[in-house]
Structure formats: C-alpha cells, structure tokens
Structure 1
Amino acid sequence: MAPNRTDIPEIFRTLRWPLVLTRLGMVAERLARSFWPLWSIAIFALALLMLGVQDEVAVEWVWGAAALLGAGAIWAGWYGVRQFRWPSRGAAMLRLDGTLRGNPIQAALDTQAIGGGDASSTAVWRAHQKRMRDRLAEARAVEPDLRVSKNDPLALRYVALLALSVAILFGSLVRVQSVTGMGAGGPDVAQGPAWEGWMQPPAYTRLPSVYLNDITAPEIDVPEGAEITLRMYGEVGALSVRESISGRDLSPEEAQDTAQDFAVLKSGELAVDGPGGRVWQIAMIPDAAPAVKRDGEIEVSYEGEAQIPFTASDDHGVVMGTARFTLDLAAVDRRYGRAIEPEPRETIEVPLPMPVAGDRSEFTEALVGNFSLHPWANLPVKLSLEVQDGRGQSGLSKPQSLTMPGRRFFDPVAAALIEQRQALLWNRENAANIAMIFKTILNEPDDLFRKDVEYMRLRALAKRLETLAKYGAITDEKQDELAQKMWDLALEMEEGDLDDARERMERARERLEEAMKNGASDQEIAELMQELREATRDYMRQLGQQQARENPEGQQMNPQDMIEMSQDDIQRMMDRIQELMEQGRMAEAAEAMRQLQEMLDNMQITQGPGGGGQSPGEQAMEGLADTLREQQELSDEAFRDLNNGQRGQGQRQPGQGPQGQDRQPGQGQAGRDPGQGQGGDDPASELAERQRALRDELNRQRQALPGQGTEAGERAAEALERAEGAMDGAERALRDGDLGRAIDQQSRALEALREGMRDLGEALAQQQQQRTGEQGFADGGDPGEQRDPLGRNTGNTGRVGTDEGLLQGQDVYRRAEELLGELRRRSGELDRPEEERNYLDRLLERF
C-alpha cells in the first residue's frame, strides 16, 4: 500500500542533514576502498621525490620508475572507477534507519495494511506513527567506515605511508622540483643550475649542523675542523667553488667538481660562483689544546695509598689523560745498595681519572694509587701529566720532582727488610751484600724478633738469597719472588700477628711513638691513632670479660690499687693526645701518652651499675656486634674475590683484611674449626665454610637471646632468624660459585642483623626501665649514671641509647667522607667490571 504522500516532505525535512551527511560518508567509504591503490602509488612517488632519489640515480632509472609508477597509476585509476558505485538515497536511508531504535524511518513511511476501518485499530496505528516520528528527531549522521583492510589484506598502503613519514623526517619538498630538470629541454634550462651546502661541526663540540643555503649573513663563525659539504646540480661548469679555508690549491677543473668535501683549517673566504651563488667570510674558532697541572699537596695513607690532585681544562672537554713517573736518577742518594747503576725499568704510566658526569671543560680530580710495591717507592721521581681532547690534541704538564709515594715502615727490622728489598730490585748484583746484612740482623735475634717463626723465615730467606747469588741464578722470576717474600715478611712484622689484645694495643702505641719520632705525616699519625683507639677498645672489652670471670660476685677491688675509668674517659684522653700532635706539641703528646699507658696498666672498667660483670643483655649485644663485624668482613672479602676474578687467598697480603684494615688472627672467622677451609685452592669454598660457621654462631646466639616475651624481643628474634636464613642462602651461593648472589644475600643478612640489634636494644631498655621503676633510688642506683652496652651514659630518661653522640671526635666523619669519596671514584672507573660498578652504585644510593 502506498505511503501517505502528504507526510513525506515533513519526514524528509526532519532527516535532511543526517541523511545528506550519511550519504557523503558512504561516498568517502567507497572512494577509499576503490581508489586506495591510486593514492598509495601517488604517496609513494611523492616520498621518493622528497627524499631526492632522482638526484642519486641515473636519469634512465628515473624515467623507468616514472613509467612503472605511471602504469600503476593508470591501472589503479581504472580499478577505482570500476569498483566505485555512487550510493543511492535509499541506501543512505536504510543505513541511517538501522542506527535508530525500531527503524522509525521505515515505520513513518509505512501505511496501515489492515484494520483501516476500525477506529480502535486506527488510533493505535496513529499512536505508533507519532512515536516513530518523534524518534526521527534523534537521528544523527552515521560515521563512515574508512577501513580498507579487507580490500588491502597485504597492507601495501602502509608501505607508502611509511615512505612518506621517512621523507617528512629526512627529506624536503624543495627537492621535488629537481625532477623537472631532468632530460633535454627541461625547466632547468630556463631556471639555471642549483647548489646545496652543509657545515658539520666536529662531534666532540656537540654543536648542530648548519644548512648553508639558509645562511644569508656574510660572516660565519665555524669551529676548527668542521666539515664543509657542497653539492652542485645542473650543467657541469655552470657553478664553481672558491675557498681559502682548507689549505687546498684548487685547479679550475677541480673547482667545478659537483661534489666537494673539505675541512675548515683556517679563517678565510668560501664562495659558490655562478648563478644563485653566494660568498661567506669564514671566521674559524680555534680549538685550543688542553692543559693540565698538579694542584695541591699529595696525601699518603698509612697503607701507602697516594692521592695526587690535578686540574685539567679544555675548551670542549678533556677526553682522557695519563700520568707518567720516571726515576730522577740525579736526585737519588747513590750510597749503599744504590751505589751501582740500576737495572732498566719502564716508565710508570697510570690513566688519570675523569669525571663520570658533568662538564669536563675544567675539573679537579685526584689520581689514587698505591705504588708501595714498585722498586721506585719512596725514591725521587719526576711526574708528568698528559691529557687529550676530542681532536687528539695533547696537553703536557711540566715535569715535577717528588718522592714516589709509598708505604713507610716503622718497625726497625721491617724497615731494614724493605730497604734491602729495594736494593735487590735496584740491581740483582746486590744480592750477596743483602744476604750478609740479613746475617748481621740474625746475629742477635732476641732483641729484634717477637716470634721465632719470623726469625726462621728471615734465616731461610738469607740462605736462599746467598745460594742464588753465589751461582748467579737470580732470574727475573726469582728476583720478583724474593722481593715479594721480603715484602710479606716485613708487612707481617710491621702489622703483627697478635693473639693478645694487650700486646696489640702496646704494639699500636709503639708504632705511633715511632712515627712521631720519625716525623711521619699528619695522615699517617691520624691512621695510627685510629688503630690505637681500636686496639684499646678491644683490650678494654677483653679485660672486662676477664674481670667478670675472676670476680663473678661483682666485688669491688681496693681503690688504692685500681683506677676506675670508663671507655669515654679513655677516648677523651686520646682526643687530647691527637689534638696535641696536630698542634705540633709532640713532647706534651708523648707525656700524655705515657700517663694514658699508666692508667691502662692499673684500670678497672666500669660495667653498668655497681661496676660488676656484663649482664646477659650486654653480652648478647656484644656478641651480635662481633657477628655483624665479621659478616661485614666476609662480605668485603667476597666482593674483593668477585672483583679480582676468583683470585686465591694467597694473593692477599698477610695480616690485611678488607679495605686494608688490620686483621688479627681469627678475626672475621667466627666459629671456624682448626684446619677447616685451609689449604683449599678455591676461595669461594673457604668463604662458604666461614659463612657456615658464622651462621652456626648466630643460631647459638639466637637461642640464648634475652628479652623474650616482649614485643621488641620478638621482633629481634624474627630479624635474627631472617639474618640466619640470608646467611644460609649466601653459603649455598658461595658453594655454587655465584659470588654476585652471595653478596646480595650477605647484604640482606647485614641489614637484618642491624635491625635485630636495634630491637634487642629497645627490649633491654624496656627491661631496664622496669627494674628502675621497681627499685627506684632505694639501692642508690641513679639512672642518669647507668651505662649502655657501649659504656655510654644512658641519660635520665631510661631510654635505649644515650644523650651523648654515638660517633665521637672528628676522625669518624673524616673516615666516612674518605670512604664515600673512594666509592664515587671507583664507581666512575669504566674499566672496572659492570657487576662491581653496579654494586658500588647500590652502596652510594643507600648511603
């Protein structure tokens, strides 16, 4: 049945714009799907022209490509015309009607098929028609679907779009016009030749490239060494180059070359002669050579590590540098073992450290190295520094005379051994005289040797040296071997191998007094003073333990026989001694040291209220502190083995622990059974055994942990349990040879140990508060006079810790600053393994 014609105009007025826009969208869809090959070919051709491909290939290739692309375009146009169908109004209406609820357009155009004579049926139909026409107001144009993936399953259109993207980034629309000049009679015949030019500064200047066609100024500042690139198009000979900045002598034929590349070596003129040419006056910016000089005083540590500061500068930045040490033979004292001519030695060359980040145009760094083992240690040398910039220019400092930094020995026999070692390395012909000197030292051993084993080792060394000298059998290998044995013996005698804490303390004091008499540097005296502090603390702790065993009832001894002192009193006296030495008042410092020694000989350590023995809490804290220290030493040794590629324990210097610190026998090897891990060739296996022993010791301490039942005590137990688990993981990693994973596990163990000690201290403080609250002052126990496990005043609050500073004196801050500086220096050395530098970076992030 035909629709009601009187309603149609009103319906289409309502749908006019949605229907028009939907129909235009359908046109766009069919154009995209029909003509995608045509616009893909057009885009691809435009990309090739923008990239200048036509300028890089022969004209025959250009014509061939044009013919191929033209044929493709003709086929694509025919394909598009054949596929394209103009959408009808009805199709647009059906698409629009399909997006609305209930197809209201079709319903509005329909007529009632049955029931036209029934009033009720007619009323229902009219209500339905009204509702459908109301929905026509909701009509919105249908968005076109421009996807052509079904028509282009191989995605060839994206190849054209990718080529256009590359052309937009790296090409130019200006280059498209160059294709019109190809072939005879082209537009270029009327337009004339063209040219392009670029100026590329050296990479180390970090300056951008310059497109010379955009430079209209007559003068240009150009850095020395910049590369000039010129390209000329059109008839050969129409354009020529004239320049006086590269030092070239161009012939007329060479000046007309269409491709020219040269460097800027001096100021002058650059011109492109011909139609559209241009002239520039080039002002070359000279690249100055770098400069370097030694700046500041040389600092030498007690272990012989030297810090040689220097300052370097360059206009564009220093790239690398080298320090060279040569023997200053004219300044050497040519007596005794150096009376004969020295054996030839190569110049010592050490790379200079460079800043890791930041500007290298001017900086100050310090060359850090230990030259104690070199034959020239403590002898006059000449130091020259050399640095290079990015262009390869070198800058040399004036050679400076100085004494080659090296470790100094204060023990008389050790010093004699080092002197004869140097004589042997000076010239092996001194071997017979050295053996004779050793026999002289061995003649009266009682006053010179503390241990028989040192005497026996020197006697064996003297016999072997005498035998080799007699038969002239000292080869280079034998010379180095003998020198190393002399060094090891001297180091052991200097450092000592002491089992008794008192002997270690007295030895440290003797070395300090010897250093004061010999005029040692402030750095050496400060380190020896720190060694005396550590030895004294160890002696006081062991003396307190001995008094607790011998006097379990805590009875006071006769005050006339003993002087009661705390650890803080000892530290204050040492601070005073160091202050006197820094002021140069050595006589007063020596007298104060004598008084300190007398007090140490007759002292009684105050240990908590009443001066009795250590409480269980104090013993637990002390045991955990020892475990923490030994775990730290074990981690340092694992890190050093990782750094040195699993080197054997025999390569370490006797008597030295991590970071060059003194290590007494058994220190850092808690719970280690005699003979366990000895004689093995695998350092990781030995470290695993020591880690196992340390884990067992922590397990024993954890079983007897005080403070059980309190919240802080439970937290301490959990932290120590985590530490034990991390130690177990470190042991397994060490046995597997995975030092990197072992170091990570050891770091977790250290963190857990520190957390456990903090919680244990809090638990002990809570117990102390409870005891103080119960007893009050009835027993004469003033909380303000009580001591914590470190011997410090706990203050009046009864809290854990102290009102005093935990780190006393300036030595601790100086040492912390030195350690951070060393970490930064090592993390900046690019020749170190990546695992080591990552480990150092993690340390720097933490601290």
Structure 2
Amino acid sequence: MDPDAAHVRAQKRLVRPLRLTRIGMVAERFVHAFWPVWSILFAVATVVLLGLHETAPLEIAWIIALLALVGSIWFAIAGIRKFRWPSREEAMARLDATLPGNPIQALKDSQAIGTGDEASAAVWAAHLERMAGRAAGAKAVQPDLNLSRRDPFALRYVAATAIAVALLFGSLWHVATVGDVVTGGKVATTAAGPSWEGWIEPPAYTGKPSLYLNDIDGEGIAVPVGSRVTLRLYGEVGALSVDETVSARAGEEVVPASEPSQGFEINQSGRIAILGEGGKAWSIDVLADQPPIISLEGTAEMEANGRMSQPFRAQDDYGVVAGSGVIDLDLAAVERVYGLALAPEPRDPIELDLPMTIAGDRADFVETLVEDFSKHPWVGLPVTITLSAVDAAGQSGQSVPTEMVLPGRRFFEPLAAALIEQRRDLLWARGNGKRVAQVIRAVTHRPDDIIRDGSTFLPLRVALRRLEVGIAAPDGLSADVQEEVAEALWNIAVKIEEGDLSNALERLRRAQDRLSEAIRNGATDEEIAQLMDELREAMQEYMRQLAQQQDPDQQQQLSENTQEITGDQLQEMLDRLQQLMEEGRTAEAQQLLEQLRQMMENMQVTQGQQGQSGQSPGEQAMQGLAETLRDQQGLSDEAFRDLQEQFNPNRGQQGESGENEGRNGDMGRGQSHEGQNGQQPGGQQGQGGNQGRQAQDGQPGEGSLSERQGQLRQRLDSLRQNLPGAGTEQGDAARESLGDAGRAMDRAEDALENDDFAGAIDEQSRAMEAIREGMRNLGEAMAQEQQRQQGGQGQQTGQADGADQRDPLGRRAGTSGSFGTEENLLQGDDIYRRARELLDEIRRRSSDRERPELELDYLERLLDRF
C-alpha cells in the first residue's frame, strides 16, 4: 500500500471543505474587526433616510456628522490592524481539529522506525489508510460570528433595527437635503415658496375618517366636538400664519400664529384660516356629543326560580360603553309593622353592572338585566331602581327612578314562608333577634303539628340556640351571628320548600299543598307552570309505585270494586286545573284541586288495605333502613337535648323540659320516639340523657347514647350485608352510601363517649343523609329489577292474562308488563334505538342556551333522572 497515494486521495477530498472553512474564517475575522464600522454607517443612514438632519439645528448636525466620521475612521484603522487573511495551513489546522485523531496532520507524518521491516511498513500503511478515511469525512467548519463578548450592549442590533425602520418609513429624497445642511443653506422647499399641510382627526370612538384640509375647499365642515386639528407651515417663518376661533384657547395655551407646527382641539363652531401666500379658510360646524339615554322597557318578570328579568333600552349618538344600576330601599313606602317597625340598619344600595350587547351597534340596543335577589333582605319590599349609562366621551345619562317591589324566590310552603319572613326581620334590624327567637321557639314547641320533614327540626333548633346565645352576649347580637343565623334559616326554608322526599305519596301531597298555596297567593304564570309540572311528575311517580305494589289478582279485585278513571281523564283534569288558574278563576281551581286530592287519597286507602302480602327482600331491606333512620333521628334528638342541658343545667330535670318534647309528645324522646310518656326502664321519667329505651324488635336497647349508637351501627352493617341488588350500579351505590353512614356512626359514637354532643350531632346528620341516599339508590335498583321481571312475565302470560290486568287508574297493562298502553309501540332493538335518539335530542336541546330558562331546567331534570 503506497502512503503517498492515501495522502493524495485525502487531499482531493479535502478541497471543498477546506475552501469553505477558509471562507468562513475570512467572514469571521472581518465581522470581528469591522462590526463597529458598519454599525456607525447604519446609524448615519437611518438619520438621513428619516430626515432627522432637516429638523436638527445646524450645530448639532455638524457635531453628529463629525463624530460619525471620526468614529468610522478610528474603527476602520483598528479593524485593518486586527484583520489577518487566513492561510491555507490555518484553515487546514481548524478543519483537522474537528476530526478525531487529527487525521490530516497524521497523513503528513513519516514512519520514524522500522522502515526496513515489511510488517512495520504494513502497519504504518494501514494507519495512513485509516487516517485517510477519517479525513475523507471532514465537513466545513462553521465560522464563529458571535459578537456578544465584543458588543455586550447589542449596539449592532440597535443599528440594524434602526436601518430597517428607516427603509420602511423613510425616504431616499431626504438624501438630497444633506448638502443643504452641510453648506448651511435652506432646503429645497424654501426656493419654491411657503407651503402648508393640515388635518382634522375626529375622536376615535366616533368612527369618522380624518380630513385632509389641502383637498377641501372653504365650504362649511361639520366635525364632532373634540376633533384634533394639526397644521404644518413650511418656508420662511412669518410667511404663513394661522387664524382660528374654534379652540377657545386662552392664556398659555395660545401659541404664536406663525408657529411652524400647531395643534389644537375643536371645542366650538367657528373659522380656521391660513393667512399668507397660498392659504385657505374653512367654516367649522361642531356636532355636539349628546349624553346617552337609558330607560326601563316594560315591567320586571320573575322566573319560577326567583331570578328577575328586567329589559332596558340604551341609546347614544356614537355608542354606549358601560352601564350600571342602583336599587335602593324606598323606606317611605314600607309598611312599618311587625318586624319592620324598628328602624332598619344601614345597608348599602344594590349596585349592578348592566350587560352590554356583544354584537351589533351600541348606539341603540335593548338588553335584559337578569339577577337573583332571592337572598337579599329587601325581597318583597318597595324599592326604586335607577339605571345609568356612560358613553366614550365620559358623559352619563340616568333613567327616571322607577318604583317596584324587589322580586325574589317565592315560598309556597307556609313554614318555609314564615322562616323567610323571620329571616328578613332579623336582617332588617338586630333588635328583632329576640322576637325572631320567640317565633322559632313557638314553631318548634310542637314540631309534629307544623314540621313535616323531620330532618329540618334539628338544624332549626341549632339555629335557635345560636341566636339565643348571640342575644345573651354582653355586646348583644353581633353582625356575624346575624348573618350566620340568617343563612341557616335560608337553607332550612329551601329544604322545607324543595323537600327531600322519597315517598311518592308524600311528594304528591306536598305538590298539591304548594299548588293550593300558590292559588291563594296569586302566583305568576311561570310559577303555576312549574308547580303543575311538579304535580304531574309526582302523580306519575305515585301511580307507578301503586302499579308496582299491586299484583294482578289485587288489580282485578280493585277494578271490580271501584270506579275506574283513565289516564286521559286524569290528564284532562290537570289541564283543566291549569287553565282555571291561568284565567284567574281561583275558587273553581281550588275546588277541582280538592276533588283531585280526595280521589288520590281514596286510591291510597284502597292500596293500603291490599298490602297484606309477603314482602320481598328489597322491601324488607327498605323497611329496615327506614326504622334505622327513625332510630338515628331519635338518638340525634336526645343528643341535642343533652347539648342544651349541658349549656343550661338549670332548665329542669333531664328529659322533663317541655321544650324537648318529641314529635309524638314523649318528653325527652326526640322527634320520632315512641314510648310510654317518656318512661324509661328505671321507672323514672326521662332520667339521664344517656339512658335509652328497651330493645324492641331488634332496635337498640337501653344503655348510654354511645352504646345505643354502636348497636345502631351493628344493625346497619347487618342490613348492608343482606342488601339486594348486588352487581348493579344502583345496588353498589346503595352499599357505598350505607358504608359512609356506618363510618359517620362510628365517629358519632366516639364523640358521644367524650361528651362531645355538638360533634356527635354533626356526624349523626351526615349518617342520616347517607342512609337517605342509600334508600333512594335501593329504590331505583328495586324498580329496575321489577321492570325486568315484568318484562319476562309479559312474554309468558300472553294476551289473555294481560287483558285483565289494570292499574289503579283502570289502564290495562301492555304485553311488556308496563302500564299505561294498549300495545307495544316498538319491538326488539328499536326500543334501545329510540331511547338513544330521545336522549340525544334532550342533550341537544339542553345545550341550546337560547331556549327559555324553564325549558332548560326541565331538560336538566330529565338528564339527571335518566
């Protein structure tokens, strides 16, 4: 192998990368040596192209030019001294340094020893061949153009940016004036005589275009007030002057009429004139900016959920930019009776931001203010509402104060409405605290006669206790306690109004009561529609439960012994009821509602007489959970009694206070306790808050409250283990809810052992809520299981047996086992396809936010249910 041949091949392959590396070194050394020179040249070119030399004084222009010239020469000489043309060897050394093992230098080496040895020569030749291969893969080295160490302030980038701006916005015509500046002569425009330019720029918010005065003759010009006038006078100073009467300037604002550059705003109508050779004059008419106008459109509408919708209209010649509203109490119009007799505590007016239209012109638009004032203490009281609007010029306009009654959520449950009234009185003045406490204490004295939902009794008593403690404080009732109790009363009233009922009959009765109360109080059409929907849903649910609880033999016997009413007839009664209410015929509506109530009560009595058959496992579990819930409520009531006596031991013997009377009249036994006049096993009435009743039917026996809480926890575990519906979504959800209830009971037991009655009451409330949730899930699981069973039975019994099956309304069961139809409308997979189509349509409609609020609420309830 010839070493010279390997060296020759390597040299041929290095020609191109070596040439490119050398060129890069030239560029690198040139940039490092001369970057200050071209930076100065860029700066000078920027000044010339932008015409800055024309406006600068002659002395300043000469100084800048001299500094630029000296600096360029200095840096050019320094760059020439620093610059060295790279040699071929330097380029080859840089290229060789980038390769592993420096193969280019290795190819130049000679064999030092072993030249006569063939083996040594062969090794040396192989080495050269390997180095030649490495050298053949050489690539050009990129030059190092980084100047950050030499230019730490990035002056080169400043110069480059400046020249780019000059090229975009400057002009090459300014180069011609450089000679005039250098010689001290006048610019070319001087030789041509005086000239001028002028513009009128209306305010940006008007949207009107700028006017170029050079193209406008002397006719009248109409411009908005506040328009900006800019004038430029060229030529010898004094050859042209400005005369104007539109700015109304005075004092120091006035500039000499011959000032070359002038600017002012048009504030009044008048005249603008440029006096001198080639001048012009214009007559200016000012268009005044009118303040915005805003007013209410129609009366406020209250939705069923308590939100107020108040349309308003806003107008302005150029557009409204913002709006606000203020609602203040009309104290003179308030009827000062009962809790309103005291002087009200100072309360700031309600301030609102008005919605502005997003699309379209804001010069004239109609929008709707939507707010919910349900929790405000002024709800139901006379107020005044005043709207204001602001335009872009800062001018404001107000509407005429309008009297109205502040709308809010209406409560149809008498107890809920009473609590809301007491809440209003409490927020009206803290001096009403004692009176509110007396009213609440009177309400809770005989809870069974007034409070239908037992779960609200304990929170109401806690709120009462908090209010009484706040009143008895040395400083009186504080604002924090006032707000805390008011919030508690609101939550309790909402719970009473909306209810938490799993029993269909109770839900139906509640819907009927609310509708009856709405008829008496003159509810709005929206409220009537909402209550009618609630009544229809409650009635349908009640009829489904009746149908599920009756077997075919009982239904046949019921149809033979009672008069039937069809679903169509029932629907006609509901439609007739709604029509009477909408027409204002309240007496007839009340009579028809009472007939409907009696009919449903009779139907319930008949159903109750037939329910003597054996119970299914699900029904047994539901009954066991109901009993557990009642016992847990009783324990919670006793814990609350002990909490009261812990703070006030002088109230009387434990368990004998009449204020602690249970729902069924048993002293010290809680809302749901049944006993023999509060007697306990020891024979003494109500002795000791930690003594319980005897164990009956598997219920917790006597012992301390913590022991009875533990027994109740064991019973719940037994019910949870035997709960039906395993493997289904609802069944698993029921088990999870009961598990949460068990853990809350454990915590309540620990709290009772430590005499922490307040903590125990909180945990017992969580346990009761979890049990209710578990009962709801279990009911859904049982309903689904029964539907599947009915579907299977419908395939076996056929048409003959199905013809005799009727529900309490006299409707025959279809072949699929469901009531309310004479035939199957869909078969096979079409059932699921149709169900999917209906669900997709409901979702589509619920996503359309343009639909009425009532419809959206109804669609959301459908999605929550299905």
Same fold (TM over 0.5): yes
Larger Cα Rg: Structure 1 or Structure 2? Answer: 2
Q: Which residue of 2 aligns with 1:639?
A: none
Q: How big is the shift at 1:488?
A: 2.1
Distance 1:472 1:416, change over 3 A: farther
Is residue 397 of structure 2 the alignment partner of residue 332 of structure 1? no
Aligned to 1:404: 406
Residues 232 and 403 of structure 1, relative CA distance in 2, 3 Å threshold: same
| Bigger shift: residues 476-485 or 246-255 | 246-255
Partner Cα distance (1:56, 1:554) in 2: 109
Assess if the C-alpha contact under 8 Å between 2:813 and 2:819 holds in 1.
no
Q: TM-score, normalised by structure 2?
A: 0.56
Deviation at 1:49, TM superposition (A): 5.1
Aligned residue for 1:255, secondary structure, equals coil
Partners of 1:788 and 1:794 within 8 A in 2: no
Residue matched to 1:313: 315
Structure 1 pair 192–540 and aligned structure 2 pair: CA distance change class (3 A):
farther
How far apart are residue 393 of structure 1 and its match? 1.0
Letter in 2 for 1:498: L
Residue equivalent to 2:638? none
The 8 Å contact of residues 306 and 409 in structure 2, kept in 1 or not, is answered as: yes
Match of 2:737 in 1: 672
The alignment's C-alpha RMSD in Å is 5.8
Residue 414 of structure 1, aligned match among 410, 416, 424: 416
Residues 266 and 240 of structure 1: is their aligned pair in 2 closer, same or farther, counting only changes over 3 Å? same
1:625-664 aligned at under 5 Å gives the runs none
- Does the 8 A contact of 2:218 with 2:283 survive in 1? no
CA drift at 1:824: 15
Tell me which moved more, 177-186 or 335-344. 177-186
Q: Does structure 1 retain, via aligned residues, the 8 Å contact 2:802–2:815?
A: no
The match for 1:383 among 372, 382, 385 is 385
CA distance in 2, matches of 1:279, 1:383: 51
Per-residue deviation, residues 812-836 of structure 1 (Å, max 9, x unmatched): 99999777466999xxxxxxxxxxx
Identity %: 43
Distance change >3 Å, CA 445–CA 505, structure 1 → 2 = same
| Counterpart-to-counterpart distance in 1, 2:479 and 2:196 | 68
The CA deviation string for residues 587-636 of structure 1, in whole angstroms up to 9 with x for no partner, is 343344344434544669xxxxxxxxxxxxxxxxxxxxxxxxxxxxxxxx
Q: Is the 8 A contact 2:444 2:457 kept in 1?
A: yes
Pairwise CA distance, 1:483: 1.6
Partner of 1:258: 260
Q: Which residue in the other structure is 2:540 paired with?
A: 537
Instruction: Output one character per residue of 1:626-653: Cα deviation in whole Å (capped at 9) or x when no partner.
Output: xxxxxxxxxxxxxxxxxxxxxxxxxxxx
Partner of 2:53: 54
Aligned residue pairs, count: 596
Q: Residue 488 of structure 1 aligns with which residue?
A: 491
The runs of 5 or more residues in structure 2 that have no matched partner are: 1-36, 74-141, 148-154, 605-729, 749-758, 760-765, 805-811, 857-862
What is the CA–CA distance in structure 2 between the aligned matches of 1:784 and 1:413, rounded to whole Å?
A: 41
Q: Deviations over 1:202-226 (max 9, x none)?
A: 2322334444444446433322222
What runs of 5+ residues in structure 1 fail to find an aligned partner?
1-37, 75-148, 605-665, 708-759, 826-842
Instruction: Tell me the alpha carbon deviations over residues 26-69 of structure 1, each in whole angstroms, 9 at most, x when there is no partner.
Output: xxxxxxxxxxxx99999998875554433554445555677899
* Shift, 1:261, TM fit: 3.0
User: How far did 1:417 drift?
Assistant: 1.9
Cα distance in 2 between the residues matched to 1:585 and 1:499: 33
Q: Classify the secondary structure of the residue corresponding to 1:479.
A: helix
Q: How does 1:509-520 map to 2 (within 5 A)?
A: 509-520=512-523
Query: Is the 1:563–1:599 Cα contact (8 Å) retained in structure 2?
Result: no
- Preserved contact between residue 198 and residue 232 of structure 2 (Cα < 8 Å): yes
The Cα shift of 1:194 comes to: 4.2
In the TM superposition, what is the alpha-carbon distance from 1:369 to its structure 2 partner?
1.3
Q: 1:397 to 1:775 in 2, by over 3 A?
A: same
Q: In structure 1, the residue corresponding to 2:370 is in which secondary structure?
A: strand
Distance 2:164 2:300 in 1: 60
Alignment partner, residue 590 of structure 1: 590
| Structure-to-structure mapping, 1:164-563, within 5 angstroms | 166=165, 170=169, 182=181, 184-187=184-187, 188-216=189-217, 218-249=219-250, 253-452=255-454, 454-470=456-472, 471-547=474-550, 551=551, 556-561=556-561
1:798-809 mapped onto 2 (5 Å cutoff): 799-800=830-831
Distance of 2:732 and 2:278 partners within structure 1:
83
Counterpart Cα distance in 2 of 1:449 and 1:779: 46
Greater shift in the superposed pair: 175-184 or 286-295? 175-184
Give the match for residue 575 of structure 2.
575
Label 1:814 to 1:803 Cα distance change in 2 as closer, same or farther (>3 A).
closer
Instruction: Give the C-alpha shift of residue 381 in structure 1.
Output: 0.5
Cα distance change on mapping 1:234 and 1:797 into 2, 3 Å: same
What CA distance in whole angstroms lies between the structure 2 residues aligned with 1:339 and 1:502?
Answer: 42
Give the equivalent residue in structure 2 for 1:3. none
Distance verdict in 2 for CA 1:369–1:172, change over 3 Å: farther
How far the C-alpha of 1:193 sits from its partner, in A, is: 4.1
Q: CA deviation at 1:583?
A: 2.4
Whole-angstrom distance in 2 between the partners of 1:526 and 1:824: 11
Q: Which amino acid in structure 2 is aligned with residue 672 of structure 1?
A: S
User: What are the Cα deviations for residues 261-304 of structure 1, in whole angstroms up to 9, with x where unaligned?
Assistant: 32222222223333443322222222221111111221112332
Task: Please give the secondary structure, in 2, of the residue aligned with 1:420.
Answer: helix
Deviates more, 1:341-350 or 1:443-452: 443-452
Mapped partners of 2:201, 2:283: distance in 1: 17
Q: 1:158 to 1:195 in 2, by over 3 A?
A: farther
In the aligned structure 2, how far is the partner of 1:392 from the partner of 1:280? 29
Q: Are residues 522 and 802 of structure 1, via their aligned partners in 2, closer, same or farther at CA, if it must alter by over 3 Å?
A: farther
| Alpha-carbon distance change, 226 to 253 in structure 1, aligned in 2, over 3 angstroms | closer
Q: Distance in 2 between matches of 1:778 and 1:59?
A: 118
Distance change (3 Å), C-alpha of 1:59 and 1:219:
farther
Q: Is the 8 A contact 2:467 2:481 kept in 1?
A: no
Q: In structure 2, how many angstroms separate the alpha carbons of the residues matched to 1:563 and 1:389?
A: 71
* Aligned 8 A contact 1:784 1:795 in 2: no
Query: What is the Cα deviation at residue 448 of structure 1?
Result: 1.5
> Per the alignment, in what secondary structure is the counterpart of residue 559 of structure 2?
coil
String of CA shifts for 1:434-482, please: whole Å, max 9, x gaps. 2333344345443212245544544454454345335452111121112
Q: TM-score, normalised by structure 1?
A: 0.57
The whole-number CA distance in structure 1 between the counterparts of 2:55 and 2:540 is 82
Q: Which residue of 1 aligns with 2:663?
A: none
Alignment check: 8 A CA contact 2:802 2:814 kept: no
Q: 1:212 to 1:485 in 2, by over 3 A?
A: same
Aligned with 1:435: secondary structure?
helix
Q: Following TM superposition, by how much is the alpha carbon of 1:426 offset from its aligned partner in structure 2, in angstroms?
A: 1.5
Instruction: Flag the 1:310–1:452 CA change in 2: closer, same or farther, 3 A.
Output: same
Q: Does the CA contact (< 8 Å) of 1:299 and 1:523 recur in 2?
A: no
Q: Does the residue aligned with 1:580 lie in a helix, a strand or coil?
A: helix
What amino acid is aligned across from residue 586 of structure 1 in structure 2? T
Closer, same or farther: CA 493–290 of 1 in aligned 2, 3 Å: same
Shift of 1:350: 0.9
